Amino acid sequence: MAGRSAAIIGRIAQAVPVIIGVVVISFILTRALPGDPAVQFAGLAATPESIEQVRVKLGLDKPMPEQFLIYVGQLAHGDLGQSIATGRPVAEELASRLPASLELTLVALVLSCIIAIPLGVLAATRQGTWVDQLCRILVTAGVSLPTFFTGLVLIYVFYYLLGWAPSPLGRLDFVFIEPDRVTGFYLIDAALAGDWETWTGALKQLILPAITLALFTLAPIARMTRASMLSALSADYVRTAKAAGLGSRQVLFTYAFRNALLPVVTTLGMVFSFVLGANVLVEKVFAWPGIGSYAVEALVASDYAAVQGFVLTMALLFVVLNLIIDLAYSTIDPRFGTGAR
Amino acid sequence: MSFSRRDFLKTSGVLLGALPFARAIPASAAPRDTMVAVISQTINSLDLHRVGTNRASYQIAVNCYDRLLTFGSKTLPSGELSYDYNKLEPELAESWTVSEDGKVLTFKLKKNAVFFDGTPVTAHDVKWSFDRSVSVGGFPTTQMKAGGFERPDQFKALDDETFQITLDRPSKLALPDLAVPVPFVINSKLAKQHATAEDPWATEYLHKNTIGSGAYKVARWDNGQQVVLERNDKWVGGPLPAVRRVIVREVPSAATSRALIERGDVQVAFEIPDKDAAELASKLKVYSTPIENCLHVLCLNTKFEPFRDDNVRKAVAYAVPYEAIFKTAAFERGAPMWGGTGTVDSIAWPQKSPYDTNLEKAKELLAKSGFPNGFETTLSIATDLSAWMEPTALLIQEALAKIGIKTTIEKIPGANWRTASLVEKRLPLHLENFGGWLNTPDYYFFWAYQAGHLFNSSNYDNPEVNKLVDETLHMSMDDPEYAPKIRRVIEIIFNEIPRIPLWQPALNVALNGAEGYEFWFHRQLDLRTMKLTEG
């Protein structure tokens, strides 16, 4: 057990230089962007004087090293700075938008795991049958259909034509009031408040965007499950287990599936972090107030503090996610942390 | 049982804000009085004066605050309703006088005007608000300057009801500039309570709170999602609006907005793309009003060699496929701006340029120029304006190739576009759009043709134009010298053609279950005239 906690602490220690690197690089990269925030925020009719006034107001007339020191000083106090575009603290903005993205991504991933993993297992055990073909079709479609397209088709069919889905107007229709904020996840907050009407409302809004994202994430998970199941099923230990006369169910789940799960978990982690930052298009189509569209808007407007805050948050999230994946390994794989490889 | 949200809204009349304990609005038998409008941009502040406030946020200043004056309305030839630049009407001011020399403007305020919290609107509030707009810097200060308002010492509260402005020189732009969204009147007592030494103009407080006397107050602002507005029943700035409650929801995807308006789940889709406007026009009520004093143009930067040559600029102007651009890029929304008569006999602006597509003439002109064999250049466009710029640029590229000018299309990302095109003015050939709030030709020429100004991205510098614009900018339009001088400017800029007018763009608004839409120069939705309809 001691080996395991040491490994975890080692993992956390490894994250420190990463974070420092991210702080420096995100600061330099945002300044290297070609846009000029002073011009951007001086408004429609600007004169050289008014642009200069804005530059001074934003503190951008100071030399770069001084700006960096101010930024690091603020960070040390947990202050991510103030977004110019929205006039709010970046930390507050991210805290309100991150849960929206996380809720959507998590629901989509759970949905896609429920479909993809059994499908992958079935495809591997019944190679060449219709299940395998179905898996192949779904995977190909999932990879090749752009998310905004799937989203628009779903809106067209289920909202516009059939009228089954609620208006694609973000996290909650305007007849509902958002639940008291505890976690920022509407489903959890509404459940905590015991307000099932809002809970149902929030769930209804979630269904279409979650399906859109699930179709997209399904592909890598199903493929990976199938491939790793195939290699596990042809491994020596499965043959030994079969030879020892163990039941086919036990061979499949205890021996093959548990070993096949490792690469699937890795893929899952990668897919999760990728989707969280990359579902901008889904957010735009469904008017979802998520972190992806926030970052894109900040980038377009050269809103330095917001971009830096976003990059830093994503970096922290990656670190935490990798840690969680490592912990998941340690549960699945008994060799973890013991030095035996 | 079918129970769409539309029926629901029809029958529900209970306010969100008035029911803090209700989780959902219960359906009741009250008349339908909530209107939902979708916009594609985000409202990023409730205070127009703040640095960084975007254009979509100006609607808060329009609907939640009052100015001294406002513009009247008129019916356009198309039957659409529009504001009327030539008709000033009182909003907070009951009456006003202009001194003999045109330099002193005196306003009497309406006696019964009150702010949302019930305190009366006084001349001291007007003074504080005007001081604020000329002192905060950035866009509001620049816009105030256009009307001749530059320093706090120009504004005086003579008593509680009388407010006086002293101008350095008389100007025809002064009174209209008081009716643009910028000089709105703030509850100064309340604002001062939230002012600090670092923030003397309470920008932090006004960013998140509306403390005006306007027709609507903000009941709720979910940043990045929606603004909920409720009617202010004590409003005296004009006739009480018909709609009691408005939800302005932000929907970035045009396709989603279109589905919503077609289904009738929202009543207004504001600023929709030309393509959707053209396609929806047969199904819904769609307004496509050509934007006053606004043009999409192709700019030829006179700092770069080939475009210094008069014949090259004219050759380009004759090569542009105007008709095809208007059909493909604008879906015929807006107004054509080519194929004029060649003689300038009116001072209307924008007006049709004398150019039309004529490749023979273009080739002839190019042969006469210093570049008879053509040349290579880049045609720059902005990625976030690609909806109209991309098809336009492709058509221009194709046409210029026919006369021997090879162009490469360069896409510049949004953040860098303004810097490259307007501030550094370093793009040789590019597309551009400018629209002036104050609807006079001289105001357009000031920003777009006079040397050194922001929207003059062609680096155009003609001493005669510079002089004529200076002379006409503040001159009264009734002055007998005004029209000849403006006609002269138009003649010169059409002859030298540093900016080639392509078409006058339109502002597209689709309605489904609402009426009373009026076009405003600020291109924001004025809720005060809107009504809901049955069906």
Chain B (378-417) residues lying within 8 Å, Cβ to Cβ, of chain A: 384, 413-416
Q: Which residue in B has a C-alpha nearest to residue A44's C-alpha? A: B139
Residues of A in contact with B55 (CB under 8 A): 44
Least confident of B14-23, B162-171, B347-356, B510-519: B14-23
Least confident of A272-281, B134-143, B319-328, B373-382: A272-281
Given a contact cutoff of 8 angstroms between Cβ atoms, the answer to whether B212 and B65 are in contact is: yes
Q: What is the pLDDT of residues B199-232, one digit of tens each?
A: 999 999 999 999 999 999 999 998 888 999 999 9
The torsion region of residue B271 among left (phi > 0), alpha (psi -120 to 50) and beta comes to: left
Give the dihedral sign, CA B486/B491/B495/B497.
positive
Tell me whether residues A169 and B249 touch, CB distance under 8 A: yes
Nearest CA of chain B to the CA of A178: how many Å?
8
**Burial of residue B384 (number of CB atoms within 10 Å: 0-12, 13-18, 19+):** middle
Query: Which range has highest mean pLDDT (A17-26, A248-257, B347-356)?
Result: B347-356
Q: How many CA atoms lie within 13 A of B257 on its CB side?
A: 28
Q: Does A97 touch chain B (CB under 8 A)?
A: yes
Find the mean pLDDT for residues A49-69. 83
Residues of B in contact with A93 (CB under 8 A): 223
* Cα end-to-end span (Å), chain B: 20
Residues of B in contact with A289 (CB under 8 A): 222, 224-225
Nearest CA of chain B to the CA of A288: how many Å?
8
Residue A100 has a CB neighbour count (10 Å cut-off) of 24
Average model confidence (pLDDT) across chain A = 84
Question: Dihedral, CA atoms, B514, B516, B522, B524, nearest 10 degrees?
Answer: -20
* Residue A197 structure tokens: 């009407």
Tell me whether residues A177 and B16 touch, CB distance under 8 A: yes
Find the mean pLDDT for residues B147-159. 94
Number of A–B residue contacts, CB under 8 Å: 167
Tell me whether residues B256 and A93 touch, CB distance under 8 A: no
ipTM of the complex: 0.80
Cα B285 to chain centroid, rounded:
22
Q: Which of B139, B226, B263 sits opposite A42 (nearest CB)?
A: B139
How far is Cα A340 from Cα A336, in angstroms, rounded to an integer? 8
Residue A321 has pLDDT above 70, yes or no: yes
Given a contact cutoff of 8 angstroms between Cβ atoms, the answer to whether A189 and A182 are in contact is: yes
Q: What DSSP designation does A88 have? A: S
Residue A340 has pLDDT above 60, yes or no: no
Residues of B in contact with A173 (CB under 8 A): 5
Tell me whether residues B51 and A57 touch, CB distance under 8 A: yes
3-state secondary structure B226-268: EEEEEECCCCCCCCCCCCCEEEEEECCCHHHHHHHHHHCCCCE
Residue B459 has pLDDT above 80, yes or no: yes
Residue B11 has pLDDT above 60, yes or no: no
The per-residue pLDDT for A320 is: 84
Q: Which helix (H) or strand (E) holds B518?
A: strand B518-519
What pLDDT band is residue A173 in, cutting at 50, 70 and 90?
confident
Tell me whether residues B138 and A300 touch, CB distance under 8 A: no
**C-alpha distance from residue A188 to each of A107, A166, A196, A199, B203 (Å):** 12, 20, 11, 8, 36
Give the dihedral sign, CA B494/B496/B502/B504.
negative
Q: What is the pLDDT of residues B359-405, one digit of tens each?
A: 999 999 999 999 999 999 999 999 888 889 999 999 999 999 999 99
Name the residue with tokens 């709010």: A88
The per-residue pLDDT for A278 is: 66
Q: Which residue in B has a C-alpha nearest to residue A291's C-alpha? A: B224
How far is Cα A33 from Cα A36, in angstroms, rounded to an integer? 8
What pLDDT band is residue B534 in, cutting at 50, 70 and 90?
confident
The per-residue pLDDT for B3 is: 43
Chain A (287-326) residues lying within 8 Å, Cβ to Cβ, of chain B: 287, 289, 293-294, 297, 299-302
Q: What is the pLDDT of residues B55-99, one digit of tens each?
A: 899 999 999 999 999 999 999 988 889 999 999 999 999 999 999
Average model confidence (pLDDT) across chain B = 90
Q: Which of B258, B419, B426 to mutate to test the interface with A (most CBs of A within 10 A)?
A: B419
Closest CA to A101 of A284, A305, A306: A284
Q: In this prediction, what percent of chain B has a pLDDT beyond 70?
A: 94
Residue A41 has pLDDT above 50, yes or no: yes
Phi, psi values for residue B156, rounded to 5°: -140, 135
Residue A311 has pLDDT above 90, yes or no: no
Closest CA to B205 of A308, A64, A194, A87: A87
* Full DSSP string of B6-43: HHHHHH----STT-TT-SBPPP-SSPP-EEEEEESS--
Q: Which residue in A has a C-alpha nearest to residue B146's C-alpha? A: A45
Phi, psi values for residue B478, rounded to 5°: -80, -15
Residue B181 three-state SS:
coil
Residue A274 has pLDDT above 50, yes or no: yes
Q: Does B451 touch chain A (CB under 8 A)?
A: no
* Full DSSP string of A161-193: IS--SPP--SSS-TTB-PPPPSSS-HHHHHHHT
Residues of A in contact with B414 (CB under 8 A): 35, 300-301
Nearest CA of chain A to the CA of B289: how many Å?
21
Residues of A in contact with B419 (CB under 8 A): 34-36, 39
Find the mean pLDDT for residues A184-199. 88
Find the mean pLDDT for residues A43-64. 79
Least confident of B174-178, B340-344, B463-467: B340-344
Tell me whether residues B50 and A87 touch, CB distance under 8 A: yes
Residue B415 has pLDDT above 80, yes or no: no
How far is Cα B355 from Cα B352, in angstroms, rounded to an integer? 8
Which residues does A308 contact at the CB level (< 8 Å), separation at least 6?
Answer: A23, A26, A27, A30, A71, A80, A81, A90
Closest CA to B459 of B423, B406, B431: B423
Q: Which residue in B has a C-alpha nearest to residue A177's C-alpha? A: B23
The per-residue pLDDT for A3 is: 67
The per-residue pLDDT for A56 is: 83
Residues of A in contact with B201 (CB under 8 A): none
What pLDDT band is residue B468 in, cutting at 50, 70 and 90?
very high
How far is Cα B155 from Cα B133, in angstroms, rounded to an integer? 12
Q: In this prediction, what percent of chain B has a pLDDT beyond 90?
A: 79
| Beta strand pairing call for B518-519 and B81-90 | parallel
**Burial of residue A335 (number of CB atoms within 10 Å: 0-12, 13-18, 19+):** exposed
What pLDDT band is residue A337 in, cutting at 50, 70 and 90?
low
E strand map for B223-374: 226-231, 245-250, 268-270, 285-290, 294-300, 335-336
Q: Which of A58, A86, A153 to mutate to test the interface with B (most CBs of B within 10 A)?
A: A86
How far is Cα B39 from Cα B251, in angstroms, rounded to an integer? 6
Name the residue with tokens 């007849």: A175
Chain B (223-252) residues lying within 8 Å, Cβ to Cβ, of chain A: 223-226, 228, 247, 249-252
Q: Does B44 touch chain A (CB under 8 A)?
A: yes
Q: What is the pLDDT of residues B476-518, one digit of tens each?
A: 998 999 999 999 999 999 999 999 999 999 999 999 999 999 9
Given a contact cutoff of 8 angstroms between Cβ atoms, the answer to whether B181 and B61 are in contact is: yes
Name the residue with tokens 């777009």: B448
Tell me whether residues B23 and A177 touch, CB distance under 8 A: yes
Chain B (247-286) residues lying within 8 Å, Cβ to Cβ, of chain A: 247, 249-253, 255-256, 259-260, 262-263, 265-266
Q: Which amino acid is at B34?
A: T
